Chains A and B, each alone.
Chain A
Amino acid sequence: MGNERLVYVVDDDDSVRRSAAFMLRHAGFKVEQVESGVAFLKLAKGAERGCVLLDVRMPDMDGLQVQQQMIKDGIDMPVVILTGHGDVEIAVQAMRAGAINFLEKPYEKEALIAAMEEAFKRLENSDLKEMAASEAKVRLACLTGREQDVLDGLMAGYPNKTIAYDLGISPRTVEIYRANMMEKLRVRSLAEALRIGFAAEGLEGDTGPN
């Protein structure tokens, strides 16, 4: 079954891991459950390539550390990060480290499937890789100064409130700029917007300045 799409579900929490595996399996994916980041790194070398659904909060080695180690170990598998509610900063770091997308728990099945589809598109078509910095810069060129400021804030991992405070505007206004920014970039999720932003910075792989 070489053409089956393999998902590594890496989560220390039994119920989340098993339920995600259950759902993905019934959505037509082949699933391998892994109980920790350490175990995943061990088996991933030389294992069948797939996409990784990686939980952030894990003992010993958290999701971000696993991501870093994957880069060092040359494990080239697209990663979708699972975060707790409100872990924006962590999500941003994951995106900066090259994650395809991030999902806040609990998530809708459709969102997860969409993220996985996107990850597999990347996996199956390695040429796509990251968006070129030049292309990203072209797309960001249409943003106003304020919209760019808001995106910068989001890329720094700040919540709306903090961005509002820093820019001396109200959080409500930040929301408006944020919506406009996403519309202009023609993205539906914050993750996509971040990806364009990071691509424009020309950064790939490392977390870069923080």
Chain B
Amino acid sequence: MRETNTRDRKRRPYLESVLSRLPNCVMIVDRNLRTINCSVAGLNILGISSVAELPQGAPESFIASSHRSIFQEAMLRAFDADADKDVSPIEVQLELPDGRLMMAQCNLAPLANPKGEIDTILISFQDISALNAAENKLDQANSILKSILTTIPDAMVVIDEEGVISSFSATAEKMFGYEQRDVIGQKVEILMPEPYKTAHDGYMKRYFQTGEKRIIGIGRTVVACKKDDTTFPIQLEVGEAKIGDERYFTGFIIDLTEKKQREAELQSLQADLAHASRLSAVGTLASSLAHEINQPLTAIANYLSAARDMMDGDLAANREFFREALQESVSESLRAGTIVRRLREFVSRGEINRRVLSIAQVVEDATVLGMIGAQERGVEFSIDIAPDTNHVFVDRVQIQQVMVNLMRNAIEAMTDSASKKLHIAVTSIDDEHVEIAISDTGSGIDPELGDHIFDPFASTKGDGMGLGLSICRTIIEAHGGTIHAEPNPEGGTIFRITLEKTGQEQEDGE
């Protein structure tokens, strides 16, 4: 350092002092790419004590051979450039004398002599290995995020504290009809219909103020709005993340349109099923219904014929009886009308299609419909199908209707029960018969009613038509089976249905 000092002291005394204090490695290189001077920090990094100790050809000699051309080009540009113009920085790999590798960013500053000619370049080397590693991680994190955003099946939308969208997954694009670039930077409210749209800022503000989580980590079903303004039901789960001081909210969105549709379809299927069984029961119910209507008609005929014959006598004396006869006739007509209204549910008779079916399959299928919504009502469901139960020759829909009917009754009967257990057991009772037992732990059936619960219009429920169980019996008996109810030793009721077994060889498809 002393030798060089003597040479350059006159020319750049100021620079000299700067170089001795700079924390970075800074070198001054002449047109021949020879190092004229170097900062103390630079010497330390290189592991030498003076410029004189620099290896031959420095700085080029300690730049990795693969990066030398970049360095040379940058130097050429720097010497060509105007003295006051910065040359864009380059990144090169250094191979230090002790064998260490270091990524360095080089800033090149051309220095002009008093004549205005560029004769030297000031190069600062900054170690960016650590920086690069961090950047790599960030890049990696970004690419992971990107791949998550493009691949997760749920739509994902990230917003900041202001409700501004910062990420929008590919599925979200498809779901909402917006492109990512349409929505990034927009308020998340554009994805919401009213009244959520207006209320959302308030929701966020309330959360920041109270910390009360109404959706974060909970998830709920809400309505979202597509680009074309159509609305659709979604399941929204929101997670919160803190990055530094900033909070981000990530919304995971599942489109419920299909699920709702499926639910609706299932419901209409259920309605069809119930309807079909009502229709098919009409024929067998006809005599019961005729009887029900005959009763009031008989009463009306009694009253009116009595009234008619009173007219031949002393009408004035019989005035009160006459009024009574007419009043009663009116009441009885209305009673008949009520029955006819009930009958209207049974307009025509459905087709019965009996096939050889696996009892297990029929029962299991029925439980799908029968158990809808039961779990939500806290009903514990178990099913036990003995392997030797084989096949039955039945109308699938009708047997299922019976099952569904009994299961719905059971679930309803357990509404107020502490224990809600619905169990279905399918067992062979002998070589010819199979039994389906449906037991509940509900309110039970008044033992006085006995088998009358199967009579038409014998409803024990406030809103019932009183036809469900009679239809069940109609169906089961039409299948040559039996149905009866008995108290469940655990409390509640057990309905037992027996059906005749059929050989599997009669199988006709399905």
Contacts and interface: CB of A to CB of B under 8 A. Distances in A.
Interface string A100-132: 000001111100000000000000000000000
A26 B306 contact: yes
Nearest to A103: B298
A59 B309 CA distance: 33
B325 A59 contact: no
B197 interface: no
B310 A26 contact: yes
A114 B286 CA distance: 30
B287 interface: yes
A105 B325 CA distance: 18
Given A16-B299, A19-B328, A59-B452, A106 B294 contact: yes
A106 B301 CA distance: 7
B138 interface: no
A27 interface: yes
Contacts of A107: 298, 301
A22 interface: yes
Nearest to B290: A85
A30 interface: no
Contacts of B298: 16, 19-20, 82, 105-107
Contacts of A189: none
Contacts of A20: 298-299, 302
A209 interface: no
Contacts of A19: 298-300, 302-303, 328, 332
Interface in A56-74: 57, 59
A22 B306 contact: yes
- Interface residue tally on B, bucketed by range: 20 to 34
A22 B325 contact: yes
A22 B309 contact: no
B281 to A, nearest CB: 18
A37 to B, nearest CB: 16
B305 A109 contact: yes
Given A19-B302, A59-B452, A109-B302, A13 B295 contact: yes
Contact of A86 (B290, B321, B324, B325): B290
A23 interface: yes
Interface residues of A, number: 21
Interface string B326-355: 001001100100000000000000000000
Contacts, number: 73
Nearest to B288: A84
A109 B309 contact: yes
Contacts of B310: 26
B485 to A, nearest CB: 17
A107 B452 CA distance: 28
B321 A26 contact: yes
B291 interface: yes
A198 B212 CA distance: 89
Contacts of B297: 105-106
Residue among A19, A22, A106 with max Cβ neighbours from chain B (10 Å): A19
B324 A105 contact: no
Interface in B309-323: 309-310, 318, 321
A106 B295 CA distance: 7
A18 interface: yes
A85 B324 CA distance: 27
B110 interface: no
Contacts of B332: 15, 19
B299 A86 contact: no
Nearest to B324: A22
Contact of A109 (B290, B294, B306, B328): B306
Nearest to A57: B291
A8 B480 CA distance: 41
Contact of B301 (A13, A18, A108): A108
Contacts of A57: 291
Given A19-B328, A106-B301, A109-B301, A84 B291 contact: yes
A34 B348 CA distance: 38
B446 to A, nearest CB: 14
Contacts of B370: none
B296 interface: yes
A86 B287 contact: yes
A22 B294 contact: no
A105 B300 CA distance: 11
Contacts of A106: 294, 297-298, 300-301
A23 B294 contact: no
Contacts of A15: 295-296, 299, 328, 331-332, 335
Contact of B309 (A13, A16, A27, A86): A27
B306 A16 contact: no
B302 to A, nearest CB: 4
A106 B294 CA distance: 6
B73 to A, nearest CB: 110
A178 to B, nearest CB: 23
Nearest to B301: A106
A18 B301 CA distance: 12
A157 to B, nearest CB: 15
Contacts of A86: 287, 290
Interface string A19-44: 11011001100000000000000000
A84 B295 CA distance: 9
A19 B299 CA distance: 5
Contacts of A108: 301, 305
Contacts of B325: 22
Nearest to A20: B302
Given A18-B328, A106-B294, A109-B302, 4 more contacts: A19-B298, A19-B300, A23-B306, A109-B305
Closest 9 pairs between A and B when the two form their complex, measured CB to CB: A109-B305, A19-B302, A19-B299, A23-B306, A106-B298, A105-B298, A15-B299, A106-B301, A23-B302
Interface of B: 287, 290-291, 294-303, 305-306, 308-310, 318, 321, 324-325, 328, 331-332, 335, 452
17 contacts: A13-B295, A15-B328, A16-B295, A16-B299, A18-B299, A22-B303, A22-B306, A22-B328, A26-B306, A26-B310, A26-B318, A84-B290, A85-B291, A105-B298, A106-B294, A106-B300, A109-B309
